[in-house]
Structure 1
Amino acid sequence: MAELTENGYAALTVERVAQRAGVHKTTIYRNWKDSDRLVADALARHFAGDIPIPDTGAVESDLQALARSLIATMTTQAGRALLATVLSDAVRIPQLAEVKHTLFNDRFRRAEPVVTRAIERGELPPDTDPTELLKTLAAPIYFRLVFTGEPVDEGTADRAVRVALAAAHARALPA
């Protein structure tokens, strides 16, 4: 991850990773067939950790916590490296495309209880699709991070929450 965050996917080599790790490159090759599999495994392991699932008792504050956590994660060096890697030509590499798919699906699955609890409390329409609500929450954040380069902060998170909740209440996110 350190090599990836400092030099990017295109410059990453097994030799440089081995040198940084203080081992011979054959040690790396014993565990990973090539640098693509090494990067895929590093990204999967780094971002597979549990994300805190808030339970404040209110959907708005739960979604704020999720959005702020997303911003905190994606604005780190590792988060920026993940974005750069999954948006580069590396997505043509099946292992990296699978990592991206797995990471996003895992995040949505882990955060789904936030939406489910809100539906049970009557805060959201019963037919709200949790994954669609979470995608709607993340979209404005990723748009700024990836396309416009505008700053992302708590205000960005709070606006994303208002948009996602408005869409859900307008029944624009049915299951």
Structure 2
Amino acid sequence: MESEGHETEPGTTRPGGRTARVRAAVLEAAGDVLAEHGFAHLDLADVARRAGVGKTTVYRRWGTATGLVTDLLLDMAQQSVPRTETGSLLGDLTANARLVQRTLADPRQGALFKAVIAAATCDPKAAEALHGFYAVRVKEWAPCVRQAAARGEVPEDTDPYEVIRAASAPLYYRLLTTDLPLDEAAADRAATATAAAARAGAFGRGA
């Protein structure tokens, strides 16, 4: 922990220190701007003002809007709810899908993800950051598929990463292409369909 009155160097992340507090305030402000106005209007000076931080600090630490988005996604991945273990593949996939559903259905979080996904379509660095975020989340949940294979629920050659992606893909499709409600029933359908497909061998590495 940082002692009272002692400042860490820019870029360090001592828990509870001044740098950690600055980072938290800036990332929260950046998320607000993304949710309200989208990536095109993510201005570092505006973020600094909202966060109550000097512009120089923000420009020195993050440099660009894309750099800010990259760190925001890193923080979101680190703060995400850990994997649930229910003892069955369907139970685990349902927990995963419901977590995704609650996140995307949240007005601020849903708008934030839409903004970042939109940015990723035209900014390679934003795309790299988004891919990194999902790589972390998929890796976190992949063991539930390996455990299911060990229990004999799915074929041994089932690709864990493809199963986890498949469980949340319908929810993102619903979010981005329709105005239908993103409810728990949609999450449960996605999990049930994915579990059935996995049991049938649809996600075998040789499929």
TM-superposition CA deviations, 1:119-148 (whole Å, max 9, x none): 111111212111111122112111101112
Residue 70 (1) aligns with residue 95 (2)? no
The whole-number CA distance in structure 2 between the counterparts of 1:43 and 1:104 is 9
Structure of higher CA gyration radius: 2
Deviations, residues 31-75 of structure 1 (Å, cap 9, x unaligned)? 122222112212321233243211111111111111000111222
Is residue 170 of structure 1 aligned with residue 200 of structure 2? Answer: yes
Normalising to structure 2: TM-score of the pair? 0.78
Q: Which deviates more, 32-41 or 103-112?
A: 32-41
2:22 matched to which residue of 1?
A: none
Taking only the aligned residue pairs, the percentage that are identical comes to 39
User: Does the 8 A contact of 1:144 with 1:152 survive in 2?
Assistant: yes
Question: Structure 2: how far apart are the matches of 1:48 and 1:97?
Answer: 18
User: Equivalents in 1 of 2:78, 2:180: separation in Å?
Assistant: 27
Note if contact 1:47-1:103 (Cα within 8 Å) is conserved in structure 2: yes
Distance 1:123 1:170 in 2: 10
Q: Does 1:91 align with 2:138?
A: no
Q: What's the counterpart of residue 22 of structure 1?
A: 52
Is residue 126 from structure 1 mapped to residue 178 from structure 2 by the alignment?
Answer: no
Match of 1:151 in 2: 181
Does structure 1 residue 113 correspond to structure 2 residue 113? no
Residue 83 of structure 1 aligns with an amino acid whose one-letter code is K
CA distance in 1 between counterparts of 2:124 and 2:71 reads: 12
> Which contiguous aligned blocks of 4+ residues in structure 1 show a shift greater than 3 angstroms?
none
User: How many residues are matched?
Assistant: 174
Aligned equivalent of 1:47: 77
Instruction: Name the structure 2 match of 1:58.
Output: 88
Q: Which moved more, 1:72-81 or 1:57-66?
A: 72-81
Aligned-pair distance for 1:165? 1.6
| Structure 1, gaps ≥5 residues long | none
Q: Would you say the 8 A contact 2:66–2:125 is kept in 1?
A: yes
TM-score w.r.t. the length of structure 1 is 0.91
